[in-house]
Structure 1
Amino acid sequence: MGKDSLIQSKTKAFAIRIIKLYKYLTETQNEHVMSKQMLRAGTSIGANTRESINAQSKLDFINKLNIALKETDETQYWLELLYETNFLNEKQFQSIYDDSKEIAALLVTIIKTTKKNLEK
C-alpha cells in the first residue's frame, strides 16, 4: 500500500472514530461546544486528503495536504482540551491522540517527499 492510499485509509478511519467520539460526548457527557469543533476539524482531515487525489497540480496537492495537517493540529488541540477538562479519560484521549500523531507524521512525510520531487 502506497503512502497516498495509506493516508486515505488512516484519515477515513480517524474520521469515523471522531464521529463516534462526538456521539459519545454529546449523548453521554452532554458536551456540545468543544466536541462540535473537534468533529469539524477531525473529519476535515480526511476530506482534504481525499481532495488531494484530484489536485490540479503538485502544488495544489501539497496545499490540500497542508490544510489537512493544520486540521490535524486543530483536532489535537480540541482533544487536549476535552481531556484536560475531564470529558475524556486518559485511555480515551491517548488512543485517538496517538492516531492523530501518526496521521500528522504521514502527512509531513508525504508533503516533504512531494516538495523534494518538485525540486528535481
Structure 2
Amino acid sequence: MQDLKLRTKRFAVDCWQLCAKIPKSRELDAWVRQLIRCSSSIGANYRASQRAKSTADFINKLKIVEEEADETIYWLELFLEVLDINHEEMKRLKIESEELLAITVASIKTTRRNHKK
C-alpha cells in the first residue's frame, strides 16, 4: 500500500520538523530524541512489514508499528503538557499518530482473522 508508506514517511518528517522548533534544553532534548526515534520507526517498520517473509513476520512488524505509534502519542502528550508552543501542530500530529495506530491495529486483526481461515 504505497499511500501508507508515503503517509508514515511524511509523518516522520513532520515530527522531525516539529522537534526542530522545540527549545533546546537538557530535559527537552531527551524527549525530542525519543519522539524522533519512535515517529520515524513507524514508517521504517511499516516498510519492513511490506517485505515480510511470512504472515507471522508481517504481524510481528506491524506490532512494532503499533508500539511505536503508541509511544509517539505518549511523547506528544508530554510536549502538549509542558510546552506553550506549537500546540496546533502537536495536536495534529497526535491525531495522525492515533489514526496510524488505529489503521495498524485493524490490519493486525484482519490479518489474524484471514490467517485462521
What's the TM-score once normalised by structure 1's chain length? 0.88
Separation in structure 2 between the aligned mates of residue 88 and residue 56 of structure 1, nearest angstrom: 43
Identity, % of aligned positions? 39
Q: Which runs of 4+ in 1 moved over 3 A?
A: none
Q: 1:48 to 1:87 in 2, by over 3 A?
A: farther
Q: Which amino acid aligns with 1:68?
A: V
Q: 1:70 to 1:88 in 2, by over 3 A?
A: farther
> How much does 1:118 deviate?
0.3
Separation in structure 1 between the aligned mates of residue 34 and residue 84 of structure 2, nearest angstrom: 14
Whether 1:35 aligns to 2:32 is yes
The partner residue of 2:87 within 90, 104, 120 is: 90
Residue in 2 aligned with 1:109? 106
| Contact residue 82 and residue 88 of structure 1 kept, 8 A | no
Whether 1:19 aligns to 2:12 is no
Query: Structure 2: where are the runs of 5+ without partners?
Result: none
> How much does 1:56 deviate?
0.9
| Contact residue 45 and residue 62 of structure 2 kept, 8 A | yes
Q: How many residues align?
A: 114
> How much does 1:21 deviate?
1.3
Q: Which amino acid aligns with 2:37?
A: R
Q: How does 1:73-88 map to 2 (within 5 A)?
A: 73-86=70-83, 88=85
Q: 1:111 to 1:41 in 2, by over 3 A?
A: same
Whether 1:64 aligns to 2:61 is yes
Q: Which amino acid aligns with 1:114?
A: T
> How much does 1:6 deviate?
3.1
CA RMSD of aligned residues (A): 1.3
Separation in structure 2 between the aligned mates of residue 53 and residue 117 of structure 1, nearest angstrom: 17
| Contact residue 7 and residue 106 of structure 1 kept, 8 A | no
CA displacement, residues 23-80 of structure 1 (integer Å, 9 cap, x when unaligned): 112xxx1131111100001100000000011111011001001101100011111111
